[in-house]
Amino acid sequence: MVANLKTDVSIVGGGPVGLLLAILLGKQGRDVVLVERYPEIYQRPRAVTMDAEVARILATLGIDVDSDPGFENHKELYYWKNAQLENLQIVDWESLAPSSWHVTYWFNQPDLEARLFAMAADYPSVRVLRGWEAVALVQDDSSTTLTGANGDTIEAQFLVGADGANSFVREALGLPVVDKGYFFDWLILDMIPEASYKTSPAQWQLCDPKRPTTIVPGGPGRRRWEFMVLPGEDADALASEESAWRLLEPWGLSPENAELERSAVYRFQARYADKWRAGRCLIAGDAAHLMPPFAGEGMCAGLRDATALAWRLGGLLDGYFSDQVLDSYESERKEHAKHYIQFSQDLGDIICIADEAKAAERDARMIADLEARGGAPITGDLVELGEGAWIKSPTAGELSPQGVVRFEGREDRFDQAVGHGWFILSLKGSADGLLTPAGGRMVASRRACALRGRV
């Protein structure tokens, strides 16, 4: 029985975002209580892709996605093709990103969640309560109180709602949502083919107005097909098992050589909360932003939220920050998320064309653009963060590249060779005169950053 608990931070929602935040706070030694209303991990696939920045985040937890069997990277280009299988666009998914990890990786979300739950359980200061549903939330100037359906309460200095698109926390706080009025229904088919099944390319987009289709990996041993629900179609009928196998026939899949793991119609939407903070309470992940999956950035954006929150909450609890640092969480992360929401919409506007005349116009334009650059692949954009907690500078918000360095006898990516946390890098080997007194105190704190010499 939980009865009444007190903790530093309470987290509502045990998906990847809430779990990552709990782990990062647990690494700092913070007292954390994470509640999840479902008693067991949902075993159906959902998110299947992540980018180089998330690979870098997972590396801080000791997960090397380049060698870990739970992840795969096909080191192939990503092709967009029309109904005649002519190339419309080619995206470079072969190269390394500035973060020094590959651009795109594939995984199975239930497996990742199970690993993150196990990691969280390894920290004595982190307590995970499954089957615990929040029904009430109040706060005052010094604390937040969460009440469960069983009458138990959790009092915390700060609370984070990472509880999904239908967030209880967001609704309880009355945080307004901006809905961009974007709606497309797609059938998602997650498959486990026989090991001998191969497809080339491994990842591509079929822009056929008769049935726009996405074909991508679903993590090791899995594949995913996504079919747009056409205007006037019955979504439930399309999601039936009989319909699913009929759609998969052209791809050589049948009940004899594959397992249909999931068939479900999802409505792709574009929304974000206008405010991400109310007093001592904050929201993150799908509770704060919801985007179509065309850019594969939904979960990625949420994991960035968790990373941005972890150091802020740690500094607040240490007394090095005022609570204004929580406002900078919203200003930093919201603009980044809004960019990917709009980018995902823009991709969807190209893909989700069911009119043949409009599709022909799109094809001609995109083929001409591709030919004009000699068929060269394009690379992904590097999105800047919004205004954050630190002093503005011309490079504020830009991604800091990560290279391979040699440090104290070890050669590796910077994070793995030098460590994690706050660092001062100086060509002089000294930080004298670079910090304010407050900054110096933060560097010297046992929880904050370490001062390193020449790398």
Q: What is the DSSP letter of 285?
A: G
Helix H or strand E encompassing 105: strand 104-107
Q: How confident is the model at residue 440 (pLDDT cuts 50, 70, 90)?
A: low
11-15, 41-45, 231-235, 377-381: range with highest mean pLDDT: 11-15
- The amino acid sitting at 113 is E
Q: CB–CB of 354/360 below 8 Å?
A: no
Written as one string, the DSSP assignment of 15-29 is SHHHHHHHHHHHHTT
Q: CB–CB of 310/295 below 8 Å?
A: no
Cα gap 1→23, rounded to integer Å: 23
Cα gap 5→280, rounded to integer Å: 17
In tens, the pLDDT along 183-194 reads: 899 999 999 999
pLDDT at 452 over 60: no
227 exposure class (CB count in 10 Å sphere: 0-12, 13-18, 19+): buried
**Domain 4-59+105-177+270-346 sits in CATH 3.50.50.60:** yes
Q: How many CB atoms lie within 10 A of CB 377?
A: 16
In tens, the pLDDT along 69-81 reads: 999 999 899 999 9
Cα torsion angle, 385, 387, 390, 391, sign: positive
The whole-number pLDDT of residue 450 equals 42
Q: What is the mean pLDDT of residues 58-68?
A: 96
Q: What is the DSSP letter of 204?
A: E
The residue behind tokens 């407050």 is 438
- For residue 349, give Cα distances in angstroms to 47, 313, 359, 365, 379: 21, 38, 11, 14, 20
The whole-number pLDDT of residue 451 equals 39
The whole-number pLDDT of residue 263 equals 97
- Domain coordinates in residue numbering, the chain: 4-59+105-177+270-346
Do the strands 213-217 and 204-207 form a parallel or antiparallel pair, or are they unpaired?
antiparallel
Cα gap 423→407, rounded to integer Å: 13
What 3-state class would DSSP assign to 214?
strand
Buried b (16+ CB within 10 A) or exposed e, 158-190: bbbbbbbeebbbbebbebebeeeebebbbbbbb
The whole-number pLDDT of residue 223 equals 97
Q: How confident is the model at residue 115 (pLDDT cuts 50, 70, 90)?
A: very high
Cα gap 135→286, rounded to integer Å: 19
pLDDT at 433 over 90: no
Bridge partner list, 192: 259
Cα gap 307→284, rounded to integer Å: 10
pLDDT at 445 over 80: no
Q: What is the mean pLDDT of residues 360-387?
A: 91
143 exposure class (CB count in 10 Å sphere: 0-12, 13-18, 19+): middle
The whole-number pLDDT of residue 455 equals 41
Q: CB–CB of 273/179 below 8 Å?
A: no
In tens, the pLDDT along 286-304 reads: 999 999 999 999 999 999 9
Percentage of residues in the chain with pLDDT exceeding 90? Answer: 79
pLDDT at 98 over 60: yes
The whole-number pLDDT of residue 257 equals 96
Helices (H), 211-323: 235-238, 241-248, 298-318
The whole-number pLDDT of residue 379 equals 87
Q: What is the pTM of this model?
A: 0.93
In tens, the pLDDT along 136-192 reads: 999 999 999 999 999 999 999 999 999 999 999 999 999 999 999 998 999 999 999
Q: How confident is the model at residue 384 (pLDDT cuts 50, 70, 90)?
A: confident
Which tokens go with 370? 């591709």
In tens, the pLDDT along 314-368 reads: 989 988 888 889 999 999 999 999 999 999 999 999 999 999 999 999 999 999 9
Cα gap 92→312, rounded to integer Å: 34
